[in-house]
Structure 1
Amino acid sequence: MSDFDYSRSFRGQALAARLRRASDLLDRDGTRVYAAQAVRFEQRWYGILRQLIANGPMSVGAIAKVLRITHVSVSEASRSMEKAGIITSAASPEDGRKRNLVLTDQGRALAADLAPLWGAFNAAADELNTEAGDLVALLDRLDDALARKSMYDRIVERLPSLTESSFDDT
């Protein structure tokens, strides 16, 4: 097997692939840590759980907005958190038609048990960030660049103009 790294060879052209790979590696190692500690916890639950700890009951939409992820991502993760007994949903006191996610007693106990482990995660993340030359600052710059102009817009402006007739079968 060769040591050739296909994605790395494409430099910035493989940006999305490299970010996915880094995310997969970090998630896989996090999952291994939880498993080694005999804790049933999914990486995708962390942001939601932290929001509920910090803010109390919140809607899926409010969590998605704070975390800057999709409503669908929060909904999917929250369903599995509910099945695990970590959260439940309850009618919003402001609007009974809306549902809020609420930590259960089991969820609060899990968060308390995981606090030391999360301290180790945070210290390791800080170490890795420093070793990588303050990657977080670069990711902030990437977020800002995407806020100024999306990848979609950057791609579309490079495509030749297409007319509706280009899509006709006749």
Structure 2
Amino acid sequence: MIFFDTIGTMAIGSRLRMLSERITEDARQVYELYGVGLKPKWFPVFYVLSQNNEKSITEIAKEIGHSHPSVSKIVREMSKDGIISEEKDKNDGRKNNIKLTSKGKSLALKMENQCFDVKSAVDDILVQTKHNMWNAIGEFEFLLDDKSLLKRVIEQKKKRESYNVEIIPYEEKYKQTFRQLNEEWINHYFKMEEADRKALEHPKEYILDKGGHILIALYKNKAVGVCALIKMNESEYDFELAKMAVSSEAKGKGIGWVLGKAIIEKSRSLNAKKIYLESNTVLTPAINLYQKLGFKKIVGHPTPYERCNIQMELNLG
């Protein structure tokens, strides 16, 4: 196992597959030892049927945690071997019920001693281990049910790449970037409106000169994200978070999250108590980001945008 000791936990899939193959080969020889004509991969289906009179493929798949096609294939193989039979359900002609044949029932009786000995052998191994693998697998599966390995890797990827993101204050040289990035997503999903044009064509006059702020996200020194804080006068809110946009080339790097956190910290530094934003529910990733940042849905605030169908606020107090 020098390879796995060297490469570490990133090879968990390969190691588990190797372990599975090793145990499966031992299981094949165990069946031969006891003279039971059963393939190891059939065991979950066989066991379920041995405990009940009959079940449908869907019911078996749900009980053992296998896919419907996988169970269907196993059922065909076992049926061909004469271990199980299929019959139409008396109450539902669309449903086939699977049950053990007399040969299958005979195998179930024959396997009683085998099952006892196998369980005893496995329990003996677990007693000798410092960490109970059976319990550890259960814990690992529970955590994967909560969040898949893929999602966890994506999070780590974003986290790593976010270290290359630098947030800086707006400068005039980023005026075109501010406009271009916002026009890109607005025109993709909706249409430019008058309020958009005011903010994007005249950011200094419309945002900065009125007490607002714009932040720029640089990824490896290239401007790839923007976000604005628009001062809200005569309102219960101090600022509106607006015009957040990230280049399509920089998606998936956690830049929106870094920008959002930076804009909130900027608000705190300005002693803001509440931040407001407007969006549209078709922008699912954006809504998820706002919720992750702590924004809550509200209703009833007047809006200049036709596309707005959701309003949110973040209480900083």
SS at match of 1:10: helix
Q: Provide the rounded CA distance (Å) in 2 between the counterparts of 1:82 and 1:30.
A: 21
Output the amino acid matched with 1:31: R
- Aligned residue among 19, 28, 36 for 2:33: 36
Instruction: Give the drift of 1:70.
Output: 1.7
Q: From the superposition, tell whether residues 75 and 163 of structure 1 become closer, same or farther in structure 2 (CA, over 3 Å).
A: farther
Within 1, Cα distance between the matches of 2:154 and 2:68? 25
Letter paired with 1:148: D
Structure 1 letter corresponding to 2:132: D
Residue number among 115, 126, 129 corresponding to 1:129 in the alignment: 126
Of 71, 79, 104, which residue of structure 1 is paired with 2:101? 104
Query: What is the letter of the counterpart of residue 107 of structure 1?
Result: G
CA distance in 2, matches of 1:56, 1:152: 39
TM-score of the superposition, structure 2-length normalised? 0.48
Partner of 1:148: 146
| Counterpart-to-counterpart distance in 2, 1:84 and 1:163 | 55
Corresponding residue for 1:49?
Answer: 46
Deviations 1:114-143 (A, max 9, x none): 111111111111112222331111011001
Shift of 1:57: 0.8
- Letter aligned with residue 122 of structure 1: K
Offset at residue 163 of structure 1 (A): 4.7
In the TM superposition, 1:71-90 aligns within 5 A as 71-90=68-87
Higher RCO (CA-CA < 8 Å; seq separation 6+): 1
Q: Deviations over 1:2-46 (max 9, x none)?
A: xx6323422211111111111111110010122233332111111
Given that 1:59 and 1:99 are in contact with CA atoms closer than 8 Å, whether structure 2 keeps it comes out as yes
TM-score by length of 1: 0.85
Superposition CA RMSD, Å: 2.3
Percent identical: 27
Q: 1:163 to 1:131 in 2, by over 3 A?
A: farther
Structure whose CA Rg is larger: 2
Q: 1:63 corresponds to which residue?
A: 60
1:81–1:87 contact (8 Å) kept in structure 2: yes
Query: How many corresponding residue pairs?
Result: 163
SS of equivalent residue, structure 2 residue 111: helix
What secondary structure is seen at the aligned counterpart in 2 of 1:38?
coil
Mapped to 2, the partners of 1:55 and 1:111 lie a distance apart of 12
Residue 118 (structure 1) aligned with residue 115 (structure 2): yes
Cross-structure match for 2:275: none
Larger helix proportion, structure 1 or 2? 1
CA 1:93–1:153: 2 relative to 1, 3 Å: farther
Whether the 8 Å CA contact 1:8–1:18 is kept in 2: the answer is: no
| Contact 1:59/1:101, CA 8 A, preserved across alignment | yes
SS of equivalent to 2:98? strand
Tell me the distance in 2 between the aligned counterparts of 1:44 and 1:94: 31
The letter of the residue matching 1:67 is I
> Who is 1:5 aligned against?
2
User: Structure 1 residues 8, 88: closer, same or farther in 2, change over 3 A?
Assistant: farther
Per the TM alignment, residue 97 of structure 1 is displaced from its structure 2 partner at its CA by 0.6
Answer 1 or 2: which has greater strand percent.
2
Stretches of structure 1 lacking an aligned partner (at least 5 in a row): none
